[in-house]
Amino acid sequence: MSRDGVPEETPERAAFYKKIGEKSLTPLWAVMSSIITPEPKSGCQSHLWRYAEAKDYLMEAGALITAQEAERRVLILENPGMPGESKITTSLYAGLQLVMPGEVAPAHRHSQSALRFVLDGHGAHTAVNGERTMMEYGDFVITPPMAWHDHGNETDEPMIWLDGLDIPIVGFFDTSFAEGYPDDEQPVTRITGDSLARFGANMLPVDYRHEKASSPIFNYPYARSRDALEVMKQQGEWDPCHGLKLRYVNPADGGFAMPTMAQHLQLLPKNFETSRYRSTDATVFVAVEGGGRTTIDGQTFNWGPKDIFVVPSWKSVVHQVDEDSVLFSYSDRAAQQKLGLWREDRGNV
């Protein structure tokens, strides 16, 4: 296939293009090089959001609008290369949500899958399909597609978490549906911890039938995940590109926890520098512990706890840390792998 650009536009060809354009036709040869590209190409740019700065704005928003009035009081992390599109990558959405003491973010459900990664506060709750889970720093919480969910904060401090959704993916397929619940909160019909007990202890109920795309666990506590990393750290087996990296899984089938988005947690030991790496899944990172810097295609971003940064598709990335550091990340790798599109390059950049 020739990738040498667009054929010359002669007066005869221009007249032909105009004529067929009136019939909603256009020549492939005039656009092929821009729609079938040699490598991934998008407006997505590398960027870092300082959590402390974003939190100040979020708290200011808390004085301007209630959670009930806003339905979800969220500041969108908008990629600077795609202004006005409510996207952090071409396929994913991210936002910081605030629930103040005594507030309820009303119950609703939608086609989009959602994740929460807790950044501030402790002891508030999310309810999903009749079960509440208490939220602590670093917890990874799932809201499956079309699952009723609401958030409440009965503590005396603000609760803030990162929302990650596949809104652009669902929008691309024109499959968005949403509806509100009659009451602010759904009835609680299951005890707290029920799903984790049933599905999170390396066992499944004897008669369980795996019929849904998302994991039956909807809270992956950070304390458990962090302990796993700490034990594995003692083995000293470090992947040159990732340090020590684990993926969150659906215990029913061993796949990713969510149908469209993949989530990971990785530990980088003190003074570790990764080898260059790139992959087709543009990735959102959250610094959970420690501090360091990440160089993305030659541009370096210094980060500390709770800062958030994005790595676009097929851009080389190198992490360097000054102390033991933990990164949470999510991307559309789950969808890409199902479609046979995902690709990685472990250093041959």
> pLDDT at residue 3 above 60?
no
Q: What distance in Å separates the CA atoms of residue 62 and residue 77, rounded to the nearest whole number? A: 17
Query: Over 60: is that where the pLDDT of 330 sits?
Result: yes
pLDDT digits (tens, 9 = 90+) for 141-156: 999 999 999 999 999 9
What is d(CA 41, CA 31) in angstroms, rounded to the nearest whole number? 14
What is the domain extent for residue 261?
A: 47-345
pLDDT digits (tens, 9 = 90+) for 251-310: 999 999 999 999 999 999 999 999 999 999 999 999 999 999 999 999 999 999 999 999
Q: What local confidence, expressed as pLDDT, does residue 349 receive?
A: 44
- Count helices and strands (H / E) in the chain: 8, 22
Using CA atoms of 249, 254, 259, 262 in order, give the dihedral in degrees to the nearest 10. Answer: 40
Asked if the structure places residue 240 within a domain, the reply is: yes
* Cα 258 to Cα 282: distance, rounded to the nearest angstrom: 17
CA–CA distance, 242 with 277 (Å, rounded to integer): 9
Between CA 260 and CA 212, with CA 111 as vertex, the angle to 5 degrees is 60
Inside any domain, residue 18: no
With respect to residue 75, please indicate whether it lies within any of the assigned structural domains.
Answer: yes
Mean pLDDT, all residues of the chain: 95
Q: Would you say residue 36 lies in a domain?
A: no
Whether residue 241 is contained in a domain is answered as yes
Across the range 306-315, mean pLDDT stands at 98
For residue 63, the SS3 value is coil
**What pLDDT does residue 5 have?**
75
In angstroms, the CA 294 to CA 311 distance is 10
Is the predicted pLDDT of residue 4 greater than 70, yes or no? no
Cα separation of 172 and 83, whole Å?
Answer: 18
Write the CATH number for 331: 2.60.120.10
204-236, pLDDT tens digit by residue?
999 998 888 899 999 999 999 999 999 999 999
What is the edge-to-edge ordering of all strands in the sheet holding 47-49?
Answer: 47-49, 308-311, 283-289, 325-331, 262-268, 244-247
Identify the three-state secondary structure at position 112: coil
- Name the domain count of the chain: 1
* pLDDT for res 318: 98
Which pLDDT tens digit goes with each residue over 13-61? 999 999 999 999 999 999 999 999 999 999 999 999 999 999 999 999 9
Round the CA-based radius of gyration of the chain to a whole number and report it: 22
Instruction: Provide the pLDDT for residue 219.
Output: 97
Other CB atoms within 10 A of residue 63 CB: 8
Residue 5 maps to a domain: no
Q: Which residues pair with 70 in a beta bridge?
A: none
pLDDT value for 348 = 60
Asked if residue 329 has pLDDT above 80, the reply is yes
Inter-residue contact 141 to 218 (CB < 8 Å): yes
Q: What percent of the chain has pLDDT over 90?
A: 95
Residue 48's contacts (CB-CB under 8 Å, 6 or more residues apart) are 301, 303, 307, 308, 309, 310
Contacts of 217 (CB under 8 A, 6+ apart): 142, 195, 196, 199, 200, 250, 251, 257
- How many C-beta neighbours within 10 Å does residue 342 have? 17
Residue 40: inside a domain, yes or no?
A: no
Q: How far apart are CA 194 and CA 181, in angstroms?
A: 23
Q: How much of the chain exceeds pLDDT 70, in percent? A: 98
pLDDT of residue 84: 97
Q: Is 23 helix (H, G, I), strand (E, B) or coil?
A: coil
The reply to whether 280 falls in a domain is yes
For 323, residues 6+ apart whose C-beta sits below 8 A from its C-beta are 270, 290, 291, 292
CB 97 within 8 A of CB 160: yes
Average pLDDT estimate for 55-74: 95
pLDDT value of residue 347: 82
Tokens describing residue 292: 């360091």
Any idea which residue has 């603000």 for tokens? 158
179 CB neighbour count, 10 Å cutoff: 10
